[in-house]
Structure 1
Amino acid sequence: MSSQGDDGDGDAQGMAVDQQPPTTGSPFTVTVGATVPTGFEHTAAEEVREKIGADVRIGKDRGRIYFNIGTDRLFQVHLLRSVDNLFVVVDEYQHYQFKESKEETLAELMQLASKLPWANALEVWRLNNSLKKRRGRRRGANGAKGKAKGDAADAENTEEQEQHLPETQQSCEAQDQADPESSSLPSSLSPEEAPCQPQLLKFRVTCNRAGDKHSFSSNEAARDFGGAVQDFFQWKADMTKFDIEVLLNIHNEEVVIGIALTEESLHRRNITHFGPTTLRSTLCYGMLRLCNPQPSDVILDPMCGTGALPLEGAIEFNSAFYVGGDNNDMAINRTVNNISHIQKRKEERDSAPGLPIDSVQWDVCRLPVRTSSVDIIVTDMPFGKRMGSRKKNWDLYPSCLREMARVCRPGSGTAVLLTQDKKCFSKAVSRMGGLWRKSHTVWVNVGGLHAGVYLLKRTAGTFGETPEDIYEAGNSSREVTEKALS
């Protein structure tokens, strides 16, 4: 039996729980793991400390963090904005000694399945299902639409496989009337320890493996470990319509076994109308935290695409005002539709109506914005792959950086810009040295591409008076933009 999925994307909005449900029994502490956008592990750790007050450990495998939380506060983990997926840790080994031969290693993994302390993790899984059931009743939902586990690791030897994901997921609570005699829990768990007694629990195992010193593949590990789990619990294996997903995360000598708590990646929570290069909402959150938005700030996304960045800001950092613009009319239509979707969702939840956001169609090199009127610029620049081209970026980047410098406040303005075209961007920043100063860079994984999130600070230089500025002013900004984005 095998199952894998490390970069699949769910279609539904992530779970957002706004009430604490009743729990049964005494609360206990568990370790929760979270996958986050690669490169923003420290940002995610800061959010956990800020919102939950928990100590956070960053995993050896990039894109994962771990923290402890009581079961009475489990609902809080679903309020985090920087995490893609969540799972409860069954057990972990920091220095697991793998055997030299594949047969011995796989046999040991099979034996491990029956020795793990499953009870607490399964109880957390049941409590988590009760959170989702309560939310489903409030919103009239019929169930989950998709599932994904993990963020794409950028290690060269990471092995990943995708699976089609379930259309429905049945919680243990739906099996309250099941005959205890037909319980699929192992006999080693007493009725007091048994978190639930489903009549026929379906499961799959997902193995995410990184490292070049393993004698086995991800498929082989998931198959044999999954077979042992099936024998131990007497569950039914199902690769697509499963109730529970067991995770086997292996990074060199680190082994973490967990149970998934999210049915779909949380990163699509804001977007219903997607474009060819729509950013993950979790990556948008990380970029916005780098900006450190303050109340009354004017924040501009001059190449907003589907509006993922300004939407995330308007929801999470709603004391600022956001303007998203693009030269493409289809992109602006998608942005408007996404804004309308969020506003409608707020009305359904009886939240305060309206969002501090607006959208405009414009030319990024001739912005209809007053000089020195913007506090922060945050945008996803064309990589030159799906949008534009590397050749056209050599004209576009200097021109748009100059225009961004014009509208940004001298001495205090900030820009957070994402691009994978590192050589072109670095050259453009050097040409605009009198207007922008590069502060630092966060290296991220965007759909398997190694990209940079660049934090720039606006210098105190007066626009139009630096040598670089005067040179660039001789070019026709409109012609440059039309050539670069056509």
Structure 2
Amino acid sequence: MMRTVTLIATAAMGLESVVANEVRNLGYEVEVDNGKVIFDAPISAIPRCNLWLRTADRVKILVGEFQATTFDELFEGTKHLPWEEYIPEDGQFPVSGKSVKSELHSVPDCQKIVKKSIAEKLKLKHGVVYKMPETGAIYKIEVSILKDIATLTIDTSGTGLHKRGYRVGQGEAPLKETMAAALILLTNWKPDDPFIDPFCGSGTIPIEAALIGQNIAPGFNRDFVSEEWPLIKKKHWEKAFEEAEDQANYDQKLFITGSDIDHKMINIAENNAIEAGLGDLVTWKQMQVNDLSIKANNGYIVGNPPYGQRLSDKESVEEIYRGLGKVMEQHPSWSVYILTAYEEFEKAYGKNATKKRKLFNGFIQTNYYQYFGERS
């Protein structure tokens, strides 16, 4: 019986170090690569990582890697891997793929060959004469070929980990929950500190802050595809959910506010917070950024304002940034963290950032402007 597996926690570009810290905090040693964090761990890590990783996109099992410049090499390399250790006789195993800078560039052909090779291996091991039944649990396989190295994985998450299960409504360009959590984890915010998102939209950043503040596992209210797998004993899932329940600090007081100029978005944000079980933990206000009322010291602003990517929006967006800069001038003890693709943000805000970090919000390249407050 398999005792350990090699896992890959996939990450958006620029967030690898954040995901790596999360995995280390769960007690596993990691290797960081572009877009992923790789680590060896016991089978019980699959439930724990799916439940707890706030900033990873998915958790995958690495089945194997090998060089493949021909379809024969792809077929034989795939067949050589121990698929029978993961996929039972009735398992469904759809195959998706991608290929970058490789001889084997036809993704549909690569998918067919991998599918056929796995079926041959499973038929051999399970003693099936004809077609594999594929009536049971789902094992989503990906063949990824980069510079002629084929990497084969099985997804343990199902829907992406950004799907926390609380979003009942959203705006036009919602921030992914995983990115929102990363923006917060890249600050020094502590649950006792005041926290404001003045551009809250559907409420993702304040809701993620509340989950972090009370140490609530982000996957607590959703299902994972690997819950159906015989490979992972029910006791591992039960223990992981018990750990999440035990570590949640529901008594932690929070001082989190989400505001937005659009009252419809505030209504959506309130409903999302209720769905997340955090209805009383966040204060929601309809207001423009110029009317921001700050009474405490040593707080944090974390926001994802409009980017002004259309020329017609440039003036209004600059006005928002100027307004925020003027308000925050009066509160030097506050730290300000703003994600935007607007290149001249610092000029409009009226101050150079203490630090900048390149991040991708979906396919949009952005900067995360960080202004460290003078602690009072």
- 1:196 aligns with 88
Offset from partner CA, 1:90-120 (integer Å, 9 cap, x none): 1124xx3x43xxxxx1221112221112244
- 1:376 aligns with 300
Whole-angstrom distance in 1 between the partners of 2:329 and 2:149: 46
CA contact 1:33–1:86 (8 Å) conserved in 2: yes
Whole-angstrom distance in 1 between the partners of 2:111 and 2:357: 33
Q: Secondary structure at the match of 1:303?
A: coil
Give ranges in structure 2 of 5+ residues lacking alignment.
Answer: 124-130, 215-251
Give ranges in structure 1 of 5+ residues lacking alignment.
Answer: 1-24, 100-104, 123-194, 347-353, 462-486
Offset from partner CA, 1:136-183 (integer Å, 9 cap, x none): xxxxxxxxxxxxxxxxxxxxxxxxxxxxxxxxxxxxxxxxxxxxxxxx
Distance change in 2, residues 1:209/1:317 (3 Å): farther
Query: Number of aligned pairs?
Result: 328
- 1:8 aligns with none
Whole-angstrom distance in 2 between the partners of 1:455 and 1:214: 43
Whole-angstrom distance in 1 between the partners of 2:264 and 2:294: 22
- 1:136 aligns with none
CA contact 1:36–1:84 (8 Å) conserved in 2: yes
- 2:336 aligns with 415
Which runs of structure 2 are paired with 1:304-343 in the superposition (5 Å)? Answer: 304-318=200-214, 319=252, 320-343=254-277
CA contact 1:114–1:228 (8 Å) conserved in 2: yes
The one-letter amino acid of 1:272's match is: V
Which runs of structure 2 are paired with 1:51-450 in the superposition (5 Å)? Answer: 52-59=26-33, 62-78=34-50, 79-93=52-66, 96=67, 98-99=68-69, 105-120=70-85, 122=86, 196-198=88-90, 201-210=91-100, 212-234=101-123, 243-269=138-164, 270-318=166-214, 319=252, 320-343=254-277, 355-370=280-295, 373=297, 375-385=299-309, 389-406=313-330, 408=331, 410=332, 412-421=333-342, 423-429=343-349, 432-433=350-351, 437-450=352-365
Q: Secondary structure at the match of 1:77?
A: helix
Q: Secondary structure at the match of 1:438?
A: coil
Whole-angstrom distance in 2 between the partners of 1:112 and 1:259: 16
The one-letter amino acid of 2:281's match is: P
- 1:180 aligns with none
Whole-angstrom distance in 1 between the partners of 2:133 and 2:97: 15
Residue 308 of structure 1 and its aligned partner are, at CA, apart by: 0.1
How does the TM-score come out when normalised to structure 2?
A: 0.79
Which runs of structure 2 are paired with 1:431-470 in the superposition (5 Å)? Answer: 432-433=350-351, 437-458=352-373
Residue 71 of structure 1 and its aligned partner are, at CA, apart by: 1.6
Residue 213 of structure 1 and its aligned partner are, at CA, apart by: 4.4
Whole-angstrom distance in 2 between the partners of 1:413 and 1:282: 24
Whole-angstrom distance in 2 between the partners of 1:205 and 1:386: 39
Residue 442 of structure 1 and its aligned partner are, at CA, apart by: 2.4
Whole-angstrom distance in 1 between the partners of 2:308 and 2:202: 18
Whole-angstrom distance in 1 between the partners of 2:173 and 2:190: 28
Whole-angstrom distance in 1 between the partners of 2:12 and 2:341: 15
Whole-angstrom distance in 2 between the partners of 1:208 and 1:65: 19
Offset from partner CA, 1:164-208 (integer Å, 9 cap, x none): xxxxxxxxxxxxxxxxxxxxxxxxxxxxxxx6332xx33211113
Mark the structure with the bigger radius of gyration. 1
CA contact 1:315–1:355 (8 Å) conserved in 2: no
Residue 427 of structure 1 and its aligned partner are, at CA, apart by: 2.2
CA contact 1:203–1:237 (8 Å) conserved in 2: no
Distance change in 2, residues 1:119/1:446 (3 Å): same
CA contact 1:58–1:65 (8 Å) conserved in 2: yes
Distance change in 2, residues 1:110/1:64 (3 Å): same
Give the CA RMSD over aligned residues: 2.7
CA contact 1:37–1:63 (8 Å) conserved in 2: yes
The one-letter amino acid of 1:56's match is: V
Q: Secondary structure at the match of 2:358?
A: strand
